[in-house]
A and B are shown apart, each in its own frame.
Chain A
Amino acid sequence: MFEIGIMHFVVLSVVVFAAGICTLLTKRNAIGILIGIELIMNAAGINFVAYNRYVWGGGEAGSLIDGQIFTIFIIVLAAAEAAIALAIFLNFYNTFSSIDVERADEMKG
């Protein structure tokens, strides 16, 4: 029988991570980049949950939920980050009437 194992989760996570990276690399839209970051974080979250299960297994040991706690932190972090990022974008938009990150090169070396 086909059983869902660790490998599936890892592959999923890789795909999501790759999607996030691709989004970051290709999008000029700040919102898009934010989404890409969210994807990368979620990929990490998936990995935490999957490896938690993989390391500790189910049953009694299943009460050990370090990975899940990390994931929750990531989600919270992502939310906070998104809030800050959106605030920055808002200001950015107010200044440049655009949220194109290519325009934000005032401080280049």
Chain B
Amino acid sequence: MDMPSLLNWMIYVPMIFGGLCLLAPSGEWAKRLALAGSIVTLVMSIVLLCNYSFDQGGVQFESSLVWIEAINVHYRTGLDGLSLPLVLLTTALSVLVVAAGWKIDKAAKAYNALYMLLLTGMLGVFLALDMFLFYVFFEISLLPMYFLIGIWGGPRKEYAAIKFFLYTLAGSICLLIVMLGLFLYTPNIDGANGKQLWTIVSSSELSLQSAAVRAVFGNGGLHEVFGKWAFWLTLIAFLIKLPAVPFHTWLPDAHVEAPTPISMVLAGVLLKMGGYAMMRITWPLFPDAAATFWVAVATIGVVSIIYGALCAIAQTDWKKMVAYSSVSHMGYVTLGLAVLTRTGFDGAYFQMIAHGITSAMMFFLVGVVYDRAHHRDLNRFGGLWLTWPGYSGWAMVGFFAGMGLPGLCGFIGEIMVLLGTFEAAANFEHQVGLVYTFGILAASGVVLTAGYILWMFQRVYMGLPKPEYESFEPVRGREYAIMAVLGIAAFVFGIVPVLIFNITDSTFESLTNMLRDGLGVLSVSGS
């Protein structure tokens, strides 16, 4: 099978397995089928990785079909450095998520089928190269999530599910508006029949397209105002998904109510769609606006870091604390993108991968305890270290990775974003004070992170074991396997970060070259 069709198969194989789950004779079979489906997907993504050529910056394994000719919509998929690590994260995490959901017996067939559909949606988002197609997958991933939270969730599941759904949908509407605007305003580009911007600007075409795009939507362009509005609309769409303060409140509710595996995938992959889409759509299409509004965007990032961490400190619900830590961690992504430096971009991207690993692990660690204790009140725990030494060892790995300890993956992203922020002082020479302020605030975020993680660690793991938790059934092999995979991944990526950067390097090179053009506009208009 050639690579482009393998890639397309990879998107739909989960869906097919999802259909099979529904036909399965029993829930047990549905679980096995879902596991098989995710393993097949994982294998396919590894095959793609093996065939991927790292030096080539552009899109690989591309396939393109005319879909709706009248409005120039294509079915266009492909892989580049921006999507490959996230695809691998998705497929790898999926196997763990299915395994983590092994004990969900309520309507197991429907559950696994919906999860497989979700997997298709997530892979589609990362692999679509046509904006229309992207939108379709963006929505597809929404729907199964709604049911997965709304049916298999906790006590307030309906509220959480509808909140998640409506909030994200509001973002989608913003995106839709931008798509319509792009369709109407984009002139002919590279001599084709116009309306090219349905096609997501891929890195290979960046140099070709960005000049033409900027000529229209950039500062001084014909549709400059639309360009600025569109920047904000897409940004809001993706900041909601990320999520960033003040668009984050769906997250704690969704996480608290969602079952453990769904929390894992929600934090591990779905949030990454926001960051990915910013890198794929917002920044490449509107580099001028990104340079013009960098202060506002960076402020959102820094506020998310500090505010998320502060909220996390105050939580007594363990899962909510982890959820707010996600807000805080994803703030680094926003900040890294906002400052428009290569280091910041690299850091933001790595932070997404790292957070995919650590947040999934943290949610799983919480889930293991919740399954037995049936509550998540931090103040009622204690002494788990003595009750379960092995589990607590992995918990230490997971939470300290979230804390950004060197040697674990959380460190690399944070440190690179910080460096990128300080580096940005060279970009914004008139605003060096602001750059320093952002840098200093983001750096002080590490103190708050230490605060909530360590306080939690003290309350849950330290102390004498409480009698009511001594009768807990021991942690099972399946659970150990999941923790071990995530924990080892946290180590591996923390020690050998080039594993990611080798893949992304050439793609990011062209991406940031293009951003530099945007900055050129700033220095002209700024001075």
A–B contact via C-beta, under 8 angstroms: no
Interface residues of B (CB under 8 A from A): none
